[in-house]
Amino acid sequence: MITHELSETAFARLAAGEADQTVVGELRQAQYSKHTMLLVAIAAAARQAATGQTGDAAPELAAFHAAYRLLTRIQETSPGDYAWLLALPHLAGWAHDTLIRLDQASAPDFAYLASLGAAAAIRARMPFELAVPVRDGSVLLPGLGRLDVAPGPGQERKSELRQSWVRLRGDVEQVTAGGGVSVPQAALRPDDGTGPLTVGWHGTPAAHAVADGMTWNVLLATDDAYLDRYTLPMSAGLPASELRRWRDWVQSAWAVLTRHHRWAAGPIADGVTVIVPLTPRAATDLISATSPAAFGAIATSWPPDPVTLAETLVHEFQHVTLCGLLDLVPLTNTSGARVYAPWRQDPRPAAGLLQGVYAHLGIIRFWRTQRHAETDPDARLRAEAQYARWCPAIDLAVDTLQRTGCLTPAGVRFTGLLRARSRELAAGPVPRQAGEIAREAALDHWLTWQIRHMAVDGAAAARLAAAYRRGESYPAAMQPGIWVSQDVRKLSSSVRSRLLALRYLDPARYRELVADEVLPISAPDRLLFGPDATAAVQAYRDQIAGTVDPQPDAWVGLTLALHRLPPSSLRATLADRLPVAFEVHSQLGVPADPLDLAGWFG
């Protein structure tokens, strides 16, 4: 059996973050085969399950087999519609989950294939008749919408239709559910907000974006359980007003992409077919996500502006393409040890870090251009600082990745090409203010991460503390072991970190908050956001030296404040060895000046 081939040229383009529509087409073709392969595996399991099956699962299995036969016909007579179905992230998500359920010996949802088969038959305008599941009073037709089902005899209330079956019949003109609801076939389409309403039909919300001669059609998935698979819940049942807002911003973001980032627009139009709106835990969060189980879908909470949505599309599309490549060519041998990722608060496995690196390659390319497109000073500052913050982060993360030793030979080659491209993209100059803001935000992230997740050998730290108390010189040979251990210490400085990020993410909001006298930050933190860095250093120093209780937030603040002063050995020591200095100080048992201790480290 032959396998899909990937040209070296396509591999190199992918590594450089330059997947054009041809390369995306290659990935999509491979997904077609992957999804066929998963379908065959599920069919084999269904055949096995059907042997002697007479219980509750019998209707599901019968529906599955009928749908499989229907798909065979559609593949033969209407290959374009069959390919549409195979490319649906809904099908991909269901196939992954079904395989996992089979492997875990939990009940698979065989019936969903009937919903998929019916959707493909309707799209192909092919006559069919199929038993399909009814949930909450309607039949789900993935990729198209939901069809209400009228209550049958003895089913007076909608609640009685929560989980049942109906025979769905379709011809070239009409689709009829059971003996009741009949809807024109042509009406069973997604709802992009421009078509007439059809009684009994709820088209999947969709956006039809057009700008600069380029078109993007994308579904806004809000009701399919197999796309509700992210760390935040899908925003189900969005009201019409919110759907309008999503459509408007998809249009605006599309205009940003077609005008300034054409390299990304074409591939995104081909490769992203579904956006899953997410409900964030906090209104200030902007969460976006991608799953390799649903190629072609990206998820995001409501973005603050169209430029941010455009950046999110570029970012998440990088994940989509990398997921497509990873299905074809493994780039890591194992998930790998957990390491620092400059864009995450938690330690990441190396395989996850690779995803982040690749996403940020797209991000720096986006901001590199976007900074020249912005005219508003705050928007320009944001774009410049975004560019300045993430350029060096890629180099650092590739170094980390290559040190883990978990890359395959293809992974080593991939990251080498990626790094070379990122260095080309990072070559542009950055205004001083944006550069400083970016460096400080990056430093705060690194210091905070170290304090939270870097454990220190306690016995060795105690020996160093004893040597310091005795007034001995620093024993250079005595280096305490350090290792990554998630949440080894707690910090409460998230407001300070958020403010540092807001300086460039939303400069107007930053100015407003810093002027707010009741902002919940410490007195030293307030000084940090003022003009007198020396006063901030002294305040943090006093806070730490004034108690034997550990003050991890103040140690991070002290190091940040020192970095606002001219270079010194003290600030280098704290930037490089903050967890060790903190741990030794905690073991002293008496109040002590943190800078005196840092000076002792040399």
Residue ranges in 489-508 that form contacts with another protein under rule CB under 8 A: 497-498, 501, 505
Minimum gap (Å) between residue 259 Cβ and another protein? 22
The residue among 312, 304, 325 whose CA lies nearest residue 508 is 304
Residue ranges in 541-560 that form contacts with another protein under rule CB under 8 A: none
Q: Which string of x and - marks every residue 439-478 that binds another protein (by CB under 8 A)?
A: ------x---------------------------------
The residue among 571, 550, 541 whose CA lies nearest residue 559 is 571
Residue ranges in 142-201 that form contacts with another protein under rule CB under 8 A: none
The residue among 83, 130, 129, 124 whose CA lies nearest residue 111 is 130
Minimum gap (Å) between residue 37 Cβ and another protein? 6
Provide φ and ψ at 166, rounded to 5°. -145, 150
Compare residues 3 and 194 and give the one whose CB is closer to another protein.
3
Answer for the pair 514, 499: CB distance below 8 angstroms, yes or no. Answer: yes
Compare residues 30 and 207 and give the one whose CB is closer to another protein.
30
Which of 145, 178, 356, 579 forms a contact with another protein (CB under 8 A)? 356
- Note the Cα 30 to chain centre separation in Å: 22
Minimum gap (Å) between residue 66 Cβ and another protein? 13
Residue ranges in 17-56 that form contacts with another protein under rule CB under 8 A: 29-30, 32-34, 36-41, 43-44, 47
Residue 61 binds another protein (CB under 8 A): no
Residue ranges in 332-351 that form contacts with another protein under rule CB under 8 A: 335, 343-345, 351
Q: What is the DSSP letter of 347?
A: -
Residue type (1 letter), 439: R
Which of 50, 57, 99, 575 forms a contact with another protein (CB under 8 A)? 99
H or E stretch at 582: helix 569-586
Which of 13, 49, 63, 68 forms a contact with another protein (CB under 8 A)? 68
Residue 380 binds another protein (CB under 8 A): no
Compare residues 193 and 392 and give the one whose CB is closer to another protein.
392
Minimum gap (Å) between residue 433 Cβ and another protein? 21
Minimum gap (Å) between residue 41 Cβ and another protein? 5
- Spatial neighbors of 180 by CB under 8 A, at least 6 apart, are 149, 150, 152
Please give the structure tokens belonging to residue 8.
């070296």
Residue 487: CA count within 13 A, CB half-sphere: 1
The residue among 173, 178, 121, 116 whose CA lies nearest residue 141 is 116
Residue ranges in 249-308 that form contacts with another protein under rule CB under 8 A: 284-293, 308
Please give the structure tokens belonging to residue 155.
């089913």
Please give the structure tokens belonging to residue 76.
């033969």
Q: Which string of x and - marks every residue 219-238 that binds another protein (by CB under 8 A)?
A: ----------xxx-------
The residue among 195, 194, 312, 303 whose CA lies nearest residue 245 is 303
H or E stretch at 416: helix 409-425
